[in-house]
Structure 1
Amino acid sequence: MTGMLLAPRTTSDAFLSAARAAGVRAGHDAARADRERRLSADVVAGLVEAGFSRALVPARHGGTGTDFATLTEAVAAVGEGCASAAWTGSLLAYTARFAACLPAEGQAEIWADGPDTRLVSSLVSTGATAVPADGGWRVTGTWTYASGVDFSDWALVMTVAPGVEGQEQARFFAIPRSAYRIEETWDTVGMRATGSHTVVVDEVTVPAHRTFLMDDMFTGQGAVSDELRHAQPLFAVNGLTFAAPVLGAARAALKLSGGALADKVARGTEPAEALQIAHARAAGEIDAAALLLTRAAQGVDRARATDDVLVRNRRDCALATRLLRAAVDALLHAGGTRGQSMSDPLQRIWRDVNSAASHMVLQFDAAALAFTRGFLDAARAGKSS
């Protein structure tokens, strides 16, 4: 796209190395985090130190220019240690991309203390309102599923507000940590440590420079940035946000499976052929999913997504997640009762993968229908002409 700056790849090796270290740190704490439903401050600090919070920040505010392919692998690397930590790190990165749609004054306020501001977001509100006020808006409401909110500095929340000629428009509002409270509402089967609690805002005035239209973010046309990664339409990249942690978790499950097979051999027992076949199939499905995600990421690293690329990326991220979930399901089944013990990490990974795969963005049916809609509409138009 003319005038857009491609992200440099000079820091990719250092970022990936730091992400792997953060993943090891998260892995050591994963069982406790799952049990207590909370990442430790040390694990979150490791994600920030690795560079997740600054990965997609505009360069003028200290962002590192990380490309989507590198970010996807970095998130997956953390996911091999702890899926909840990977999910949190991924959202730290991608929410900063949202904030690139704020006016320049708003961006300067968000990143006034540097690029490692911890941003969270939520589009799911209950009775939220935004009414015009002097120089901005008066915002009230509750927003659920704000992953990582316990460690946040700012929250980006969305609600409908009066627009041009009285028509309502969906808007995002940037709220500082001092202006919202947190209700602990997240208690789930899987992804327990993401801390995806509820943000509560009571009659907070948000100045105009700390708000932007949702459509600007969805289309990528409203980014106040000349960097390509901020100009991508949402559906071209947001599947990567949620699929990458699942990829890492599936790789961890495969390592556990391989270790169990090797242990049998070490004890003088030949693993059943059915177990070997299940392991091989899962390995292939995980590799196939990784290739799909890599293509999706590399495509949006090279150019602004066309409509065709957008629907393909959406399809591929959802399909990759299906492959990963199927692989982990098979590995748990092959592991027998041992793998289902609460002391065995495989059951935690299985719970995390199935919980993450239920995310709205990763649903294959909706992505499939979006993928076929374009050429079917063309076929219908050709038939009627």
Structure 2
Amino acid sequence: MSSTVSVPVDDLTAVTTPLTDAAALARADAARADAEQRLDPATVEALCRAGLPAHFVPARWGGAESTFAQLLSDVALLAEHCPSAAWCAALWAAHGRFCAYLPEAGQQEIWRHSPRTRIAAAIAPPSGTARRTASGWTLDGTWQPVSAVTHAEWVLLAAAEADTAGPALRVFAVPADRLVIEETWDAVGLRATAGHTVLARDVHVPDHLTLDLAEMLAGRSAPGRSRSHAAPAQLAGGLMFCATAYGAARRALQLWTHWAVTPSGSTGRVRAAAPALATTLATASARIEAAGLLLERAARRADAGTVTGVLVASNQRDAAVAAQMLADAVGELMRGGSHMLDARGELHRMWRDVHTVAAHAVLRVEGAATAFAAAATDGER
């Protein structure tokens, strides 16, 4: 990828594509979306036209069946313009991958009209209960937060099987209009992602719209499954989450650099000429670019590497460390100067969004480090 420093603050792209059209529309609405905590329907439709919900959908349903590397690139680009839009797009893509594990009849029901069906999910931790019936399951429970649920057409919900000895857990695909959505999302960052609370009350789910949670997370290979559908959830989960932080951090660097190289109104000097600011520019840009290299390598491994416990743990480690590096870099950009005085500015918004992504449980360094140490130790035995 090109250097993040060299991109002018107002340069969107020289080539118009459905993806860049979606990015431009999302950027124009980003401040309002953040303030009102919801994406505009026009932005959502543009993300669909750009193919994000269809990214991992099997080709037989008209989907792209694409790669993790391409999703990283697409989501990071979107996040430079609106991290909330990028986060929703990444999740719609990821959940399409999960739905590819449903029985054939379930896949047909979800994608029979379009591969661009928007799917939200609440998988971890599981909540609620499901009771077996003669014609399927009855689902009850409350799940929160459920990102991107406001504009979702289907929702994947993980629940425990009632009257089952042991931790039997299943995933249920439910049409969004059969669920109750309580608007409870009011976060510091990613404010327009609408991670509201979802309630299911005596919702019937037929067998063809449910599957075993462990099987879905394992991502086992099978005849007819593409590489993206044969990857364990942990191999690329952190990578897909961190893509939003990567793009938002690149945008923060663009904004800060534009400020730093603009002559000061009082002195006429370029701020970046000061040793302290030059150091900030060098270290923050290096951290962001290094994080990008970690994520790009993790994406290549997810797309082509031999799946082992060490590989999965390495990708978990790299995504978590990259998220921490991005948060540290953007935090460094925010220290000092007038940035802290502009709570409604774009740089401040990017700062909030990057830190919100980095706080996600999947990207916690401690958990990733524990998993990596265990895998590395086992590999040495």
Same fold per superposition (TM over 0.5): yes
Residues 279, 223 of structure 1: CA spacing in aligned structure 2 closer, same or farther, 3 A cutoff?
farther
Task: Answer yes or no: is the 8 Å Cα contact 2:76–2:244 preserved in 1.
Answer: yes
Cα shift readout 1:150-186 (whole Å, capped 9, x = no counterpart)? 11110000011158x7444111000012211210010
Taking the aligned partners of 2:294 and 2:16, their CA distance within structure 1 comes to 20
Cα shift readout 1:280-337 (whole Å, capped 9, x = no counterpart)? 1111111101110001111121145221110000000000001100010001114x23
Cα shift readout 1:35-85 (whole Å, capped 9, x = no counterpart)? 111111111111111110100001111111221101101000000011111
Map of 1:208 onto structure 2: 207
Asked if 1:308 corresponds to 2:307, the answer is: no
Task: Answer yes or no: is the 8 Å Cα contact 1:231–1:304 preserved in 2.
Answer: no
How far does residue 139 in structure 1 lie from its aligned partner after superposition? 0.3
Residue 187 of structure 1 aligns with an amino acid whose one-letter code is: D
Map of 2:180 onto structure 1: 181
SS of aligned partner of 2:120? strand
How far does residue 16 in structure 1 lie from its aligned partner after superposition? 9.7
Taking the aligned partners of 1:127 and 1:230, their CA distance within structure 2 comes to 25
Task: Answer yes or no: is the 8 Å Cα contact 1:101–1:222 preserved in 2.
Answer: no
- Which residue, 322, 325, 345 being the options, matches 1:323? 325
Residue 118 of structure 1 aligns with an amino acid whose one-letter code is: R
Residue 326 of structure 1 aligns with an amino acid whose one-letter code is: D
Instruction: Extract unaligned runs of 5+ from structure 2.
Output: 1-14
Taking the aligned partners of 2:366 and 2:51, their CA distance within structure 1 comes to 34
Residues 148, 224 of structure 1: CA spacing in aligned structure 2 closer, same or farther, 3 A cutoff?
farther
Task: Answer yes or no: is the 8 Å Cα contact 2:127–2:158 preserved in 1.
Answer: no
How far does residue 261 in structure 1 lie from its aligned partner after superposition? 1.3
Asked if 1:58 corresponds to 2:76, the answer is: no
Residues 158, 224 of structure 1: CA spacing in aligned structure 2 closer, same or farther, 3 A cutoff?
farther
SS of aligned partner of 1:151? coil
Map of 1:361 onto structure 2: 362
Task: Answer yes or no: is the 8 Å Cα contact 2:324–2:358 preserved in 1.
Answer: yes
- Indicate the larger mover: 238-247 or 269-278: 269-278
Map of 2:133 onto structure 1: 133
Taking the aligned partners of 1:155 and 1:341, their CA distance within structure 2 comes to 37
Map of 2:288 onto structure 1: 286
Percent identity, please: 38
Map of 1:235 onto structure 2: 234
SS of aligned partner of 1:264? coil
Task: Answer yes or no: is the 8 Å Cα contact 1:328–1:350 preserved in 2.
Answer: yes
Taking the aligned partners of 1:131 and 1:224, their CA distance within structure 2 comes to 31
Map of 1:5 onto structure 2: none
Taking the aligned partners of 1:160 and 1:285, their CA distance within structure 2 comes to 42
How far does residue 276 in structure 1 lie from its aligned partner after superposition? 1.6
Task: Answer yes or no: is the 8 Å Cα contact 2:238–2:319 preserved in 1.
Answer: yes
Taking the aligned partners of 1:215 and 1:250, their CA distance within structure 2 comes to 34
Residues 223, 46 of structure 1: CA spacing in aligned structure 2 closer, same or farther, 3 A cutoff?
farther
- Indicate the larger mover: 266-275 or 228-237: 266-275
Residues 205, 63 of structure 1: CA spacing in aligned structure 2 closer, same or farther, 3 A cutoff?
same
How far does residue 29 in structure 1 lie from its aligned partner after superposition? 1.0
Residues 225, 358 of structure 1: CA spacing in aligned structure 2 closer, same or farther, 3 A cutoff?
farther
Map of 1:10 onto structure 2: none
SS of aligned partner of 1:24? helix
Task: Answer yes or no: is the 8 Å Cα contact 1:100–1:223 preserved in 2.
Answer: no
Residues 224, 196 of structure 1: CA spacing in aligned structure 2 closer, same or farther, 3 A cutoff?
farther
Residue 344 of structure 1 aligns with an amino acid whose one-letter code is: G
Normalised by the length of structure 1, the TM-score is: 0.90
Residues 170, 227 of structure 1: CA spacing in aligned structure 2 closer, same or farther, 3 A cutoff?
same
Taking the aligned partners of 1:30 and 1:236, their CA distance within structure 2 comes to 31
SS of aligned partner of 2:262? helix
- Indicate the larger mover: 266-275 or 342-351: 266-275
Instruction: Extract unaligned runs of 5+ from structure 1.
Output: 1-14
Map of 1:244 onto structure 2: 243
Task: Answer yes or no: is the 8 Å Cα contact 1:129–1:161 preserved in 2.
Answer: yes
Taking the aligned partners of 1:265 and 1:18, their CA distance within structure 2 comes to 38
Residue 296 of structure 1 aligns with an amino acid whose one-letter code is: A
- Indicate the larger mover: 214-223 or 187-196: 214-223
Number of aligned residue pairs: 364
Map of 1:196 onto structure 2: 195
Map of 1:105 onto structure 2: 105
Q: If each structure's helix is expressed as a fraction of its own residues, which one has the higher value? A: 1
Map of 1:9 onto structure 2: none
Map of 2:86 onto structure 1: 86
Aligned ranges 1:1-80 → 2 under 5 Å: 17-80=17-80
How far does residue 195 in structure 1 lie from its aligned partner after superposition? 0.4
Taking the aligned partners of 2:145 and 2:131, their CA distance within structure 1 comes to 24
Runs ≥4 in structure 1, deviation > 6 angstroms?
Answer: none
Taking the aligned partners of 2:279 and 2:379, their CA distance within structure 1 comes to 43
How far does residue 19 in structure 1 lie from its aligned partner after superposition? 2.5
Taking the aligned partners of 1:16 and 1:72, their CA distance within structure 2 comes to 19
Cα shift readout 1:315-365 (whole Å, capped 9, x = no counterpart)? 00000001100010001114x233441232111111111111110100011
Residues 367, 124 of structure 1: CA spacing in aligned structure 2 closer, same or farther, 3 A cutoff?
closer
Aligned ranges 1:113-132 → 2 under 5 Å: 113-124=113-124, 128-132=128-132
Residue 365 of structure 2 aligns with an amino acid whose one-letter code is: F
Task: Answer yes or no: is the 8 Å Cα contact 1:221–1:231 preserved in 2.
Answer: yes
Cα shift readout 1:185-213 (whole Å, capped 9, x = no counterpart)? 10011111100111111101101110011
Taking the aligned partners of 2:127 and 2:200, their CA distance within structure 1 comes to 11
Taking the aligned partners of 1:124 and 1:235, their CA distance within structure 2 comes to 12
Map of 1:374 onto structure 2: 375
How far does residue 214 in structure 1 lie from its aligned partner after superposition? 0.8
Task: Answer yes or no: is the 8 Å Cα contact 2:126–2:158 preserved in 1.
Answer: no
Map of 2:344 onto structure 1: 343
